[in-house]
Amino acid sequence: MKRALVLCLALAGCEQPRTELMIGVVTDIRAPNLIDGAELLVTRAQDGFIQQQVSWQISGLPNQPFNLPGTYGVYSDGDEIKLDIVLTGLKGATPMVTRRAVLNLVEGKTLFFRMGMTLGCSTKTDCLATESCVEGVCRNVEVNSLQLPDFDVTLPGTLTCNGGTGYIDTSTGAPLPMSADAASCPPELCFEGTCLKPPPGSGGSVSDEPSPVDPGNTSPDAGNGGSAPDAGTTGTAVSTVPCPTTPAASISTTDGLSGYTPTVVNITAGQIVRFQMSPMHDVVPLPPNTHPALDVPAGTTECLQFFGVGSFDFTNSPMTFTGTVQVAP
Q: Is the pLDDT of residue 200 over 50?
A: yes
> What does the alpha-carbon distance between residue 247 and residue 258 come to, in Å, rounded to a whole number?
24
Residues ≥6 apart with Cβ < 8 Å to 180: none
Q: Is the dihedral of CA 87, 193, 166, 20 positive or negative?
A: positive
Q: How far apart are CA 115 and CA 143, in angstroms?
A: 12
Determine the length of the chain.
329
pLDDT above 70: residue 10: no
The CATH classification number of 238-328 equals 2.60.40.420
Q: Which residues contact 152 (CB under 8 A, 6 or more apart)?
A: 112
Phi-psi region of 263 (alpha: psi -120 to 50; beta: other; left: phi over 0): alpha
Residues 33 and 49 sit within 8 Å (Cβ to Cβ): no
Nearest to 139 by CA among 109, 103, 111: 103
Q: What is the pLDDT of residue 204?
A: 55
pLDDT bin (cut points 50, 70, 90) of residue 53 is confident
**Averaged pLDDT, 148-170:** 93
3-state secondary structure of 11: coil
CATH of 8-195, one of 1.10.10.60, 2.60.40.10, 2.40.50.100, 3.40.50.300: 2.60.40.10
* Residue 232: band (very low, low, confident or very high) from pLDDT cuts 50, 70, 90: very low
Asked if 159 contacts 179 with a C-beta cutoff of 8 angstroms, the reply is: yes
Question: Would you say residue 75 has pLDDT above 90?
Answer: no
DSSP state of 261: B
- pLDDT, position 8: 46
Domains 8-195 and 238-328 share a fold: yes
Bridge partners of 17?
A: none
What confidence score (pLDDT) does residue 218 get? Answer: 35
**For residue 318, what are the contacts with CB-CB under 8 A and spacing of at least 6?**
none
Upstream peptide bond of 95 is cis (omega within 30 degrees of 0): no
Rounded CA gap, 98 and 91, in Å? 12
Kindly state the average pLDDT of the residues 191-219: 61
pLDDT at 223 over 70: no
Rounded CA-CA distance 152/147 in Å is 15
For residues 42 and 234, what is the distance between their CA atoms, to the nearest angstrom?
A: 37
The answer to whether the beta carbons of residues 287 and 122 sit under 8 Å apart is yes
Residue 198 has pLDDT above 70, yes or no: yes
Q: 283: closest CA among 313, 327, 309, 310?
A: 313
Mean pLDDT (the chain, rounded): 83
The average pLDDT across 148-173 equals: 93
- The domain locations on the chain are 8-195, 238-328
